[in-house]
């Protein structure tokens, strides 16, 4: 399985990858993008199975990325990992088609629980 991590912070991408490894996803291909636009190009090229995206990012936010994918007819499993923790934001995310919203800070356990459906 290929997992794309989209976050403008390198530190956060590392944290997400570390949590993924701790949650048992270390054997999967983990690829990175630092904003929505970069991610969009990468998704078309690399066809990831799962996208884990931040909400607030320069150039193209996570929710814009998700909507762009839907508009382009690209159906990829999508989850948010974000500091945007309001119920309203969660609602928007789920309505836009996100599978889950993990709020920062998160533990490897939380990642494992949310990604249970993807575990081999």
- The two structure tokens encoding residue 68: 């762009």
- Closest CB to other proteins among 88 and 116? 88
- The two structure tokens encoding residue 96: 């836009």
- Closest CB to other proteins among 39 and 69? 39
Q: Total binding residues for other proteins by CB under 8 A?
A: 20
What is the nearest approach in angstroms of other proteins to the Cβ of residue 49? Answer: 25
**3 state SS of 52:** strand
Distance of alpha carbon 104 from alpha carbon 110, whole angstroms? 10
Q: Mask 67-96, x = binds other proteins (CB under 8 A)? A: ---------------xxxxx-x--------
- Closest CB to other proteins among 49 and 56? 56
Burial bucket for residue 19 (CB in 10 Å: 0-12, 13-18, 19+): buried
Our finding on whether 26 is near other proteins (CB under 8 A) is: no
- Using CB under 8 A, which of the segments 25-33, 44-52, 91-99, 105-113 binds other proteins? 105-113
Our finding on whether 2 is near other proteins (CB under 8 A) is: no
50 DSSP β-pair partners: 3, 77
88-95 long-range CB contacts below 8 Å, 24 or more apart? Answer: 89/55, 92/63, 93/55, 93/63, 93/66
Q: Summarize as ranges the residues that interact with other proteins (CB under 8 A).
A: 9-12, 14-15, 18, 56, 58, 82-86, 88, 103-107
């Amino acid at each position: 399985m290929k997992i794309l991590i989209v976050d403008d912070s390198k530190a956060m991408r590392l944290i997400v990858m570390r949590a993924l490894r701790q949650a048992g996803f270390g054997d999967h291909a983990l690829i990175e993008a630092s904003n929505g636009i970069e991610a969009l190009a990468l998704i078309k090229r690399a066809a990831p199975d799962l996208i884990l995206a931040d909400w607030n990012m320069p150039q193209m936010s996570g929710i814009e990325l998700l909507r762009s994918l839907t508009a382009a007819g690209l159906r990829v499993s999508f989850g948010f990992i974000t500091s945007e923790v309001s119920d309203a934001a969660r609602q928007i995310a789920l309505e836009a088609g996100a599978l889950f919203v993990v709020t920062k800070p998160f533990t490897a356990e939380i990642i494992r629980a949310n990604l249970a459906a993807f575990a081999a």
